[in-house]
Amino acid sequence: MRVIETVSQAVSACANLPRPLGLVPTMGFLHPGHISLVNRARKENASVVVTIFVNPTQFGPSEDLSAYPSDMARDLAILESKNVDLVFAPPASELYPPAMDTWVEVGAVSRRLEGVHRPGHFRGVATVVAKLFNITSPTHSYFGQKDGQQAAVVKAMVRDLNMPVHIVVSPTVRESDGLACSSRNSRLNPAERRASPVVYRTLRAAEKLWLAGETRADVLKQRMRTILNAEPLVQKIDYVSIAVGETMKELDIATSGAMLSTAVHIGNVRLIDNLILNGVCQGQRSPRSRGH
């Protein structure tokens, strides 16, 4: 496994790797969610490239970039054991030299939900993902359903800018109590960690109500708020949403395929999660036809 830190070396090393080439962009501190993407990329491609880069431009001024966890030695050992061909782990100065002054701004899909609460976040994400695509020239790139809006933003960018890469979105990997795996979970204290499954429990409760026949989005969202508010360690709800998965446009009536999502603050940690109504992404039961 080659570990490369400069753009120029990454460009030539990736150009020489056999195709299809699967890229897995990450910010490191790897957990089973990341590893599921790497495993899938390994199965589906002749070459696998993983990037580890904590992208400063997707963090807002009030978000603590320096508190983002990291363990490069551990990450590299995991990736080596997964037969990854190449890891690109540049310092920030490689991707953002002083002259860097071009940005990718995706439209409406990036301004809703996360875009409201994290202004500029998706501009940073889209820009760095576009740069990573140009550097590594993947045929396929792997993203997690966990960050459902991010996947939608990346898909819109690829579609609108005619980027020759196939975006693969993989199911959310969860802890046994339902909490979606996330590098940020390591910052929850024990009481917060015990409270955190409320996020997925909330999504599942709304889904259950929907499966029982309730399709009014305001009723489903009210149920979600009630459950979240009942947990004392939930300090703030940024949003609860029922939206079209491709555009993040809010729905009045929850239809099959809609994305239920929420962002909440537990302690100092902001948690996001989502599920697709009747979705194949959950992998927990077979889809039921609801006739919507």
> What is the Cα–Cα distance from 115 to 244, expressed in whole angstroms?
15
Reply yes or no on whether 121 is catalytic.
no
Of residues 123, 146, 187, 221, which one binds ligand AMP by CB under 6 A? Answer: 146
Residue 147 in the binding site for ligand AMP (CB under 6 A): yes
Site string for ligand AMP, 13-52 (x = CB under 6 A): -------------xx-----xx-xx---------------
Taking the complex as a whole, how short is the minimal distance between the CB of residue 215 and ligand AMP, in angstroms? Answer: 28
Of residues 144, 197, 245, 279, which one binds ligand AMP by CB under 6 A? Answer: 144
Contacts of residue 123, defined as CB under 8 A and 6 or more positions apart, other chains included, come to 57, 58, 103, 104, 105, 106, 110
Nearest to 138 by CA among 147, 129, 150: 129
> What is the Cα–Cα distance from 213 to 196, expressed in whole angstroms?
27
> What is the Cα–Cα distance from 86 to 9, expressed in whole angstroms?
11
Residue 172 in the binding site for ligand AMP (CB under 6 A): yes
> What is the Cα–Cα distance from 15 to 135, expressed in whole angstroms?
9
Q: Which of 31, 34, 166, 292 is catalytic?
A: 34
Residue 173 in the binding site for ligand AMP (CB under 6 A): yes
- The DSSP symbol for 180 reads B
Taking the complex as a whole, how short is the minimal distance between the CB of residue 50 and ligand AMP, in angstroms? Answer: 10
Question: In this structure, are residues 242 and 254 in contact, taking their beta carbons and an 8 Å threshold?
Answer: yes
**Count of residues in the chain:** 292
Q: Which two tokens stand for residue 176?
A: 């046994």
Give φ, ψ of 146 to 5 degrees: -45, -40
Nearer to ligand AMP (CB atom), residue 75 or residue 207: 75
Nearer to ligand AMP (CB atom), residue 154 or residue 220: 154
* Sites for ligand AMP among residues 179-208 (CB under 6 A): 180-183
| Active site residue ranges | 34
Q: Rule CB under 6 A: which residues touch ligand AMP?
A: 26-27, 33-34, 36-37, 143-144, 146-147, 170, 172-173, 180-183
